[in-house]
Amino acid sequence: MAKILITDGMDKGAVQTLKDMGYEVVEQFFEPEPLKEQVKEFNILIVRSATKVRKEIIDSAVETGNLGLIIRGGVGVDNIDVVYAESKGIKVRNTPNASSLAVAELVLSHMFCLARFIGLSNITMREGKWEKKKYTGIELGGKTLGIVGFGRIGKELAKKASALGMKIIYNDVLGPVKDLSKYTFVSLDELLTDSDFISLHVPGEKDEPPLISENEFSKMKDGVYIINCSRGSVVDEKALLEALNSGKLAGAGIDVFSEEPTNNFELISHEKVSVTPHIGASTKEAQERIGEEVVSIVKEEGL
């Protein structure tokens, strides 16, 4: 029976299911150099975001010809050289259906945190300060939320935010979504200009420039909030800091960074920023769904 290497952890129930199916399963994280050797022995590699499956890892796997499938437990596959892997006969799959609810809820969490100074007041109160008069926030109801990228997560966020009374506008490279007229499709420039909150849900391409940089920030209204729970490469962090410091942005909610773990301490310690360490899919329920989807992929591929 095939051997499976799980490097970044997975739901225990799903791991047990794979073992019950007869697979030999190893759960262990490896740094790139050791992984180059370990991957030669396995037929299936299951990763999340921490493990980077680059050309060198793939070339090493090809030496034995054992590896036939890489599964990304999550949505984005920017940590895998997908085209190269598939050119070598190694299939790459992900689990796009499992984490939409969790990510959408995290986006809303950052929006509430910024709008009502929850993170900052947690810090100052623990410092013995009572700064009630400084924390006059805003309500989400009645504000315009611009969603960039209207896939599964974007649609789930729209549903939840509209229930709060927000007006939803969106932009997607595929154009307007059919049979969804309750939300308004607009150009990216119009979205940047008209939104009170902007949430990004697009894939990050490592060789492409950031979608949001100095030019895009200049088009936004003063006092806008931006949330990035997609990929760190989508936003130029230097331009983001400048926009925060100038007052163009009232705040930013960030779950993903250009380098992870991030060393951009100026950004993560900024008083206008709400930060989390790439935990968009880190709920018990989402991890169970990811595990179930991984098991389904393994069954489907039949390795």
pLDDT at 303 over 90: no
pLDDT band at 121 (very low <50, low <70, confident <90, very high): very high
pLDDT higher than 80, residue 207: no
Q: What is the pLDDT of residue 97?
A: 87
Class level of CATH domain 100-275: alpha beta
Q: What percentage of the chain carries pLDDT values higher than 90?
A: 94
Contact 72, 101 (CB under 8 A): no
Q: Is the pLDDT of residue 29 over 80?
A: yes
Q: Measure the CA–CA gap between 276 and 273, rounded to whole angstroms.
A: 10
Q: Which of the four pLDDT bands, split at 50, 70 and 90, describes residue 138?
A: very high
- Topology of domain 3-95+284-301, CATH: Rossmann fold (3.40.50)
Q: Residues 154, 172: contact at Cβ < 8 Å? A: yes
Q: 270 an active-site residue?
A: no
Domains 3-95+284-301 and 100-275 agree in fold: yes
- Please state whether the peptide bond connecting residue 96 to the residue before it is cis, i.e. omega within 30 degrees of 0: no
Active-site residue, 93 included? no
Catalytic residue among 63, 260, 271, 285: 260
The pTM of the whole model exceeds 0.85: yes
Every domain of the chain and the residues it spans: 3-95+284-301, 100-275
Model pLDDT for residues 233-283, shown as the tens digit of each residue = 999 999 999 999 999 999 999 999 999 999 999 999 999 999 999 999 999
What is the distance between the alpha carbons of residues 162 and 104, in angstroms, rounded to a whole number? 12
260 is an active site residue: yes
Choice among 110, 152, 201, 231 that is catalytic: 231
